[in-house]
Homo-oligomer: A and B are copies of this chain.
Amino acid sequence: METKAQTRPQRLTRAEQQAQTRERLLAAAERVFARHGYEGASIDLISAEAGYSKGAIYSNFESKEAIFLALTGLYMARSMADLEKALDVAPDQLADALNQWLTNFQTDNDCLLLVTELQLQARRNPTFAASYYRLQEEQTRTLANNLKRYCKASGTAMPVNAMDLAGALIAITHGLALQRPQSDIGTPGRVIRAMMKLLTRP
């Protein structure tokens, strides 16, 4: 029995189909919101980017705001996972790993723009702010814990509160990225490396 299941591995089930559609819509939404901002992103633009019609969005999400919220959740989760995975290395490789992660953020244009958009929305929409700031803090904490781990391993004293330092690192990365498009990635890297060196001077 179960012939059906066996004979159509290539074909997706209903649920899988829908999941795929939803995924594609969210991926498209990510690109479009990043490039055009929340107001500038239209439902038409997003669905076209995903290769669907306008209606597909309303079959999967309640409203424009809903897809933005869904995207935010997805993005933050992925972002957290990325960070944890990136820093999941031996203590002596942490500095490099961190540098790598920060550089990534500098390079990924859509990511930068999306985060900025999220922060602007958080300023404008208190409900959104609540959930966004919670996620942001989680992420900062993850980084802070890894910094502590790093200092402990290298015998350095944490020069300031770990959370402050983690926040500062993210802030400077974000702030620098926002100043100019990628171009010369050297400068930000140089600055952050110098900053890290200063921090870890015995």
Query: A residues near B, CB below 8 A?
Result: 35-40, 109, 113, 116-117, 119-120, 123-124, 133, 136, 159-161, 164-165, 167-168, 170-176, 178-181, 187, 190-191, 194-195, 198-199, 201
Beyond A37-B37, A174-B178, A195-B195, whether A164 also contacts B136 by CB under 8 A is: no
- B124 and A116 form a contact (CB under 8 A): no
Question: What's the least CB distance linking A117 to chain B, in Å?
Answer: 8
Q: Is the CB of A187 within 8 A of B167?
A: yes
- Among B35, B136, B175, contact of A172 (Cβ-Cβ < 8 Å): B175
Q: Which residues of B contact A195 (CB under 8 A)?
A: 168, 195
Neighbouring B residues of A164 by C-beta, 8 Å: 187, 190-191, 194
CA of A168 to CA of B37, assembled, Å = 25
**Assembled-state Cα–Cα distance A136/B165 (Å):** 26
Knowing A37-B120, A116-B116, A120-B37 touch, does A165 contact B178 (C-beta < 8 A)?
Answer: no
What is the minimal beta-carbon distance from A172 to any residue of chain B, in angstroms? 4
CB distance from A150 to the nearest CB of B (A): 17
Q: Is the CB of A176 within 8 A of B171?
A: yes
Of A119, A160, A170, A171, chain B has the most CB atoms within 10 Å of the CB of A171
